[in-house]
Structures are given as structure tokens and as C-alpha cells.
Amino acid sequence: MENIDNTAAESAPEGFFRIALGVEYKGSRYRGWQRQATSVPSVQQTLEDALSTVADSPVVLHCAGRTDAGVHACGQVVHFDTRAVRSMKGWTMGANINLPHDISVAWAQEMPAHFHARFKAVARRYRYVIYNDQIRPAHLGQEVTWNHRPLDVERMSLAAEYLLGVHDFSAFRAGQCQAKSPVKNIHHLRVTRHGKMIVIDIRASAFLHHMVRNIAGVLMTIGAGERPVEWAREVLESRDRRTAAPTAHPFGLYLVQVEYQDEFVLPQRYIGPHFLTGYESLAADDPQAIC
């Protein structure tokens, strides 16, 4: 999910404004968030180019979470420093005019000089969306993960309980994960069905690389009846990636919310993705969720 960033959590230089943005994007045609050394498309580079046009000077972005290739976001938070004087509407509308259809800036806000999109975040929330039907969907094909096997949400929910709290998630991390510690704290992990859609909703202070997709792979295997509910605990306790299920497809994964310390008040929007708005039960037991 996230790679380690060695950049210091430094304040904006004197004479610069620190601007935060809320960003949405469809990750299907990008090689992830992070700017690449080669010419392959990335969300960061595309957004930096658009903002640099608005600022009439180079813009470098820092994000709350580096999403992988094919992964989406409807609650990404980024920041940049600039000397350019623009209204917040100017940053938002100016960026959107210069962006392709699959990236959108939802809001802009000037922040204190010591705000940092990544290092000041206290929690991140993802949703993994599964389309559960025998027939492959013609629509949303790159925005949901299709699973043709009938999935038992109750079994998936029971299995998810084993993963709550503070654990060593070595069995759920990618081999190339650069995190210093595999120990993470999952605050909530819920599985709900909404017609043919199944949503895995997970919130933690931080995530390992591929952690959510590996959790989704285990829960779908259990939901399909291929493994017992207790297998989730066995995988967790093994601390061995080889004991778990294959990594789930990236298209169903969304970064939906980033939370910050109380001193930083950012604009709040509904928690996506957009096609799930209206499912009030997704947020019924979470006062911070806006649907």
C-alpha cells in the first residue's frame, strides 16, 4: 500500500504558502501514485503538471498514501508549497481544467506551515469493492473486483474479527514492502453486502504494502467456503506470506479517507466511491463517515 518515504516532515519555507488538496482519481491507466523515473504515467506527475500550469512555476506534491498501479482514490490528501497567490477556488478549478477526466481536485485549503499530508496523518481508511455475481459486469469493470463464486458475508465478517487490533501482519505484506515494522493496528474491519456489491471497509493508522489486497484475498477465499473461518487467524499467526491467499486485484481498492490531528481542520466530503453513496449502512456505526 505505502512505501517508506525518507523525506523529512519539514515545514514550508519562509515566503511560501502550504496548500492542501483533496484528490480523487481512477487509477486504472496509471502506474500508481508515485512519479516514475521513466515516462510511464503516474497520478503524481499528471497532477503536478496541471498545478504547475496554474502556479506558473514547478509544483512538487506530497501525498498521504502512495497507492499502487490500478488502485483508486476518492479521499487522497496531498500538499505542496508555492509562492503563487491564487484563491482556493482558483487552485481547484484551474487544476481541473488542466487534468484528464480520471483525476479531479475536490477542494483546496491553505494550511499551517507545519502541516504534512503524510506525516501528520493519524489514520487511513480503504474500501475494497467486490461485484459478486456469476456474470462478469460490463460496467465498472475497472472499478470493482469481480468474483463469480457465491461469497458468504457472514463467514467473511467472522474471519475479519481475528485481524482487529495490534498484530504482526507479516503474512499480509508484499515481499517488496519497505516498512520498518510489520506491526500495525487495525481499528475497524467490516464486511457488508449491498445487493451484488460486497464492501470490505478497513481503517488503520498505517498499512503495509498490499496489506488490504492480501486481506481481501483471504476473506474472499473464506467467503467462498474454500477455507474455514479460523484460517484467517492461522494465516495471521504464521507471519508467513506463503500461507495466505493470492493478492486480490487492485481495481476494487479505494483510498477513501485520511484523518488528521484535531489542529488540522480539512473539508469533509462523503466517503466514496461515488457509486456506493446512498448506502447509509456503510456509515451507520461510524460517526466520522459522511455518505
Q: From CA 139, how far away is CA 274, in angstroms rounded?
A: 14
- The catalytic position among 5, 49, 68, 81 is 68
Please list, in sequence order, all residues whose beta carbon lies within 8 angstroms of the beta carbon of residue 176, skipping any fewer than 6 positions away: 209
Q: From CA 125, how far away is CA 190, in angstroms rounded?
A: 12
Q: Which residues of 193-217 are buried (b: 16+ CB within 10 A; e: fewer)?
A: beeebbbbbbbbebbbbbbbbbbbb
Q: Which helix (H) or strand (E) element contains residue 184?
A: strand 183-194
β 165-168/183-194 pair status: antiparallel
Residue 81 is a catalytic residue: no
Q: From CA 167, how far away is CA 162, in angstroms rounded?
A: 10
- CA-based nearest residue to 81, from 101, 62, 56: 62
Cis, peptide link before residue 273, omega less than 30° from 0: yes
Rounded to whole angstroms, what are the CA distances from 228 to 85, 106, 141, 235? 59, 42, 29, 11
Catalytic positions are: 68
